[in-house]
Structure 1
Amino acid sequence: MTAYVSALDLFSIGIGPSSSHTVGPMRAALVFAENLAAGGRLDEVVRIRCSLFGSLGSTGLGHGTPDAILAGLAGLRPEACDPDDVRGRWTDLADGATLPLNGTHPVTVQKNDVVFEPRTRLPGHPNAMTLSAWGDDASPDAAPLLEETYYSIGGGFIRRDGDPVRPASIHPQPMPYASSAALLALCDAHGIGICDVARANEEAIHGAQGLDAGLDAIWDAMHSCVEAGLHVDGILPGGLRVKRRASAIRMQLEEYDGLPQRERDTSTEWLHAFALAVNEENASGGRVVTAPTNGAAGIIPAVAHYYLRFVPGADAAGIRRFLLTAVAIGSLVKANASISGAEGGCQAEVGSACAMAAGALCAVLGGTPRQVENAAEIAMEHHLGLTCDPVGGLVQVPCIERNAIAASTAVSAARLALHGDGTHLVSLDTVIETMRQTGLDMMTKYKETSEGGLAVNVIEC
């Protein structure tokens, strides 16, 4: 079975603060509304209810999950909507308010139509939600017109209960692979780089022009997110009163870099600023690119900006190679372990993004396929066991700083791998499998529930 996931799916343009708790539920609610319409039952609906289970129930409030669900039911799409049209849809809901179900059919909704059940964990995935719609008879014993359960499986991807866990690809894969060993074998057999394997698979799906246009759109969104975050001050929403720092750091660095004589290299500080900018935008519910999740969305754009700004000869073609290499690595993680913090802890999110960024940077710095694989392995290895314990259920502490530090780790891993010949003891396949096993062993309270770690040891002011 191929491990490949298209770059245009793994890197999806959406909104913050969470791919699994905001984007995924929004997409699930949208599909549910579309299914009602497709089944000819839309105009019969008088009541909608959504139950949030497990991690969605635990930290859904902090992630804006109820707002996203109502937005999705109203027909909004995370990749196209204005983030301002999502904020407050449930939070500011007035009594007797109506929702345009699927964008057309008015339904009266109340806040208690979204129910939080954090102690109930469905077997399909820790991020589970059940959507139900009733007609004129909405009594407790009445059968719903439609009821569906969805799992938000990380990175904005969703799966409906009863659908295959690993659906067969509907796209041709001229260079299929299911492991890093198989990926390296393809590179050896054809004398090409990892990004070339990814490009072959992508062009079979999108065509050459469609692929380049898609990659450029992804990069444009990443770049816009960094620029936005670098030029906004203020306090992040949610009650923790976390202050934005990226803009102030940018101004300090610009002032220092403008001095006639400088005593230090500021490239690492700029790298940190790039990552902080993205994750502050994400925490504010702004437009971000899932890479491969929102909680880890700052790492890949930050390292790519580092490449463009500080690597001689960097160009737009290099950014395309960077993104394709990253997605080839991310596909392996998604297929063989997880990119969901609720399933594997933050090692599955930040660890995966760090591995993707490290391998991608190594590639555009001239690394061989084995050096690229080594860079990704180093980055993932040093995130094993990383817990997901957001304070207040918000993607702010420790998430924002964690992205900045992981971006530094990615650069270090890439440069360390370049000093070797690609030979190393621990393979990327081994470290991905270890991450999967570690996620299974990790206590539930350390997997995006805000019931352990910093979430219970930091006083919320």
Structure 2
Amino acid sequence: MAISAFDLFSVGIGPSSSHTVGPMRAAHTFADGLRSEGVLERVGRVRAELFGSLGATGHGHGSVKAVVLGLEGENPETTDPRRADPRLEEVRSSGVLRLGGTHEVACTVDTDVVLHRRASLPFHANGMRFTAWESATPADDDEPLLRREYYSVGGGFVLDEDEVGGNRIVPDETPVRYPFTTGNQLLERCAESGLSISGVMMANELSWRTEAEVRSGLLHLWEVMQECVDNGCRSTEGVLPGGLKVQRRAPRLARQLRSEHGGDPLAAMDWVTLYALAVNEENASGGRIVTAPTNGAAGIIPAVLHYYTRWVPGATDDEVVAFLLTAAAIGTLYKENASISGAEVGCQGEVGSACSMAAGALAEVLGGTPDQVENAAEIGIEHNLGLTCDPVGGLVQIPCIERNAVASVKAITAARIALRGNGKQIVSLDKAIKTMRDTGRDMKVKYKETARGGLAVNVIEC
């Protein structure tokens, strides 16, 4: 399956790529489908049903809001986060939804967006079913105008029922110059071509875009990452939404670090912590972020890239592009051979994969060989194996925000360990990814983004 860097990295809103971005995209796609089928203006009622992890933690992850906005034609890339909550309340109070942005239909949010806390659809833990009827008060046996099922499979990726034929993902058959599906194949492509990992990924990206478009697109993502960090550091909102009363720490930490003038040999790590906290606090508040490769793990790659551009002399846009391409190449291995969905394999698939991607990317721009890059990525995931996804209250706050900060520092350590070696190791990246996949399959469902295990049940909500 051909995967682009722009599949793994995209601009969206918080707090969750699989629970907010994915449902919004699915709802938008369904509304577009009604228009393309020529039945949009006939619709009198729409119902959205969310299953599995979406149903279990949808309220805490803003899934209801995302579905409503998506049905109204909003996209995660362009929607205004500041308008999201007010618009949801307008629909709730008026009982009217603008389907596709133009056609008004009756809507009772609390009954037309159904969260099934225990039921699941067969293909994936994040399943959705959308149904549209001509009648505003449909009976159980009324024939729908359109009914479609979708799956949010992590990182904002959404598949419809046609793309999971035979209970498998129908692959993108776009030919790329240097195809690879495993870490070993990626290293072989580097050896055959004489290119770095970022060079191989750039050559493959040219199957979809020109080099100038790839560069400008990646640098735009970097701009959004920087804006997100800046917004998180400057925020005047002291408490994150959701009821846990979690205090924002990035603004205060930013002030502290800016007032200090040398003397601490580990000050750079405090700044890395700040960058990660800022991003994930913005994510938790529903702000604009870059999914990298998920929202729950969105702080790691920006934090490590900020570390590189600030603390390593001579960093240029070329290295920023190489960093993101290398991270994307590693991310494709997780999409191909395991998962980046916390609902499918736990947080090892989110924070673990992001840590691995950032570690390998940093190793490359610091001058590492492809073998050293692969080694850094392996170290990054190896020490996140078994990590559960147990958000307290179903919110992407505890332990998610601090977990990003810790993983960012871990990624830097992994890169430095790898660069001190020759790239040879006993455990390959492929073996570590397989282990992550197998561990995820063995992990109890309650530890996979359901808020029914771990810290989620051992911490009393405030």
Deviations 1:413-434 (A, max 9, x none): 0000001000000000000011
Q: What is the deviation of 1:204?
A: 2.3
Give the 5 Å matches for 1:11-26: 11-26=9-24
SS at structure 2 position matched to 1:158: strand
> 2:96 — aligned with what?
98
Whichever residue aligns with residue 193 of structure 2, its letter is H
- Secondary structure of the residue that 2:426 maps to in structure 1? coil
Asked whether the equivalents of residues 91 and 97 of structure 2 are also in contact (C-alpha less than 8 Å), the reply is: no
2:120 aligned partner, one-letter code: R
1:110-139 Cα distance to aligned partner (Å, 9 max, x none): 021111111101111000111111102611
Give the structure 2 partner of residue 325 of structure 1. Answer: 326
Q: Which residue matches 1:250? A: 254
Alpha-carbon shift at residue 343 of structure 1 (Å)? 0.2
CA distance in 2, matches of 1:180, 1:382: 18
The one of 167, 172, 197 aligned to 1:169? 172
Cα 1:263–1:181, aligned 2, differ >3 Å: closer, same or farther? closer
Match of 2:242 in 1: 238
Paired amino acid for 1:150: Y
What amino acid maps onto 1:375 in structure 2?
A: A
Aligned 8 A contact 1:358 1:375 in 2? yes
Counterparts of residues 206-221 of structure 1 (less than 5 Å): 206-221=209-224
Q: What whole-Å deviation, never above 9, does each CA across 1:272-319 have from its counterpart, x for those lacking one?
A: 000000000000000000000000000000000000011111111111
Aligned to 1:158: 158
Q: Structure 2: how far apart are the matches of 1:410 and 1:186?
A: 25
Amino acid in the other structure paired with 1:230: C
**Residue 184 of structure 2: aligned partner:** 181
Q: Which moved more, 1:68-77 or 1:310-319?
A: 310-319
CA gap 1:121/1:263 in 2 versus in 1, 3 angstroms? closer
Structure 2 counterpart of 1:119: 118
Could you tell me the percent identity over the aligned residues?
Answer: 55
Check the 8 A contact 1:172/1:205 in 2, yes or no.
no
**Residues 301 and 408 of structure 2 are in contact (CA less than 8 Å); yes or no, is this contact kept in structure 1?**
yes
Structure 2's unaligned 5+ residue stretches are none
Deviations 1:120-179 (A, max 9, x none): 011110001111111026112111111111110000000112324333324330000111
Q: 1:89 Cα deviation (Å)?
A: 4.0
Moved more, 167-176 or 296-305: 167-176
Q: CA deviation at 1:347?
A: 0.2
User: Which amino acid in 2 is paired with 1:140?
Assistant: D
Alignment correspondent of 2:143: 143
Equivalence for 1:370: 371
Matches within 5 A, 1:29-428: 29-90=27-88, 93-111=91-109, 112-136=111-135, 138-164=138-164, 165-233=168-236, 234-257=238-261, 262-428=263-429
Cα distance in structure 2, aligned partners of 1:356 and 1:84: 31
CA distance in 2, matches of 1:208, 1:176: 18
Say if 2:219 and 2:321, in contact at 8 Å, map to a contact too.
yes
Q: Assess if the C-alpha contact under 8 Å between 1:336 and 1:432 holds in 2.
A: yes
Cα drift, residue 95 of structure 1? 4.5
Partner of 2:433: 432
Give, in angstroms, the shift of residue 230 of structure 1.
Answer: 1.1
Asked if structure 2 preserves the Cα contact closer than 8 Å seen for 1:279 and 1:403, the reply is: yes
How many residues align? The count is 456
Deviates more, 1:329-338 or 1:156-165: 156-165
Instruction: Give the 3-state SS of the residue equivalent to 1:289 in structure 2.
Output: strand
Aligned-pair CA distance for 1:91: 5.5
**SS of the residue 1:77 aligns to:** coil
Letter in 1 for 2:117: P
Please report how far the alpha carbon of residue 7 of structure 1 lies from its aligned counterpart in structure 2 after TM superposition. Answer: 1.1
> Which amino acid letter does the alignment assign opposite residue 187 of structure 2?
L
Residue type of the partner of 1:128?
G
Q: Which amino acid counterpart does residue 454 of structure 2 have in structure 1?
A: G
- Partner amino acid, structure 2, of 1:282: N
Amino acid of the structure 2 residue aligned with 1:253: L
Contact 2:23 2:66 in 1 (8 A): yes
- Distance in 2, Cα, partners of 1:172 & 1:371: 28
SS at 1:420's partner residue?
coil
Q: Which runs of 5+ in 1 are unaligned?
A: none
SS in 2 for 1:151: strand
Query: For residues 242 and 251 of structure 2, what CA distance do their matches in structure 1 show?
Result: 20
Equivalent residue letter for 2:216: A
Distance 2:442 2:115 in 1: 26
1:419-456, Cα deviation, whole Å (9 max, x unpaired): 10000000000000110000000000000000000000
1:140, 1:84 → 2: CA distance? 37
Q: Tell me by how many angstroms 1:108 deviates.
A: 1.2
- CA deviations 1:3-33 (Å, max 9, x no partner) are x421112101000000000000000000000
8 Å Cα contact 1:96-1:108 kept in structure 2:
no
Equivalent residues of 1:151, 1:159 under 8 A apart: yes
Q: Which whole-Å CA distance do the structure 1 matches of 2:73 and 2:292 have between them?
A: 24
Check whether the contact 1:375–1:414 (CA below 8 A) recurs between aligned residues: yes
CA distance in 2, matches of 1:190, 1:160: 37
Which amino acid counterpart does residue 351 of structure 1 have in structure 2?
G
Alpha-carbon distance in 1 for matches of 2:445, 2:420: 39
Which SS does the other structure have where 1:163 is aligned? helix
Letter in 2 for 1:143: E
For residues 209 and 372 of structure 2, the distance between their equivalents in structure 1, rounded to whole angstroms, comes to 28
Residues 28 and 74, structure 2, Cα contact 8 Å, conserved in 1? yes
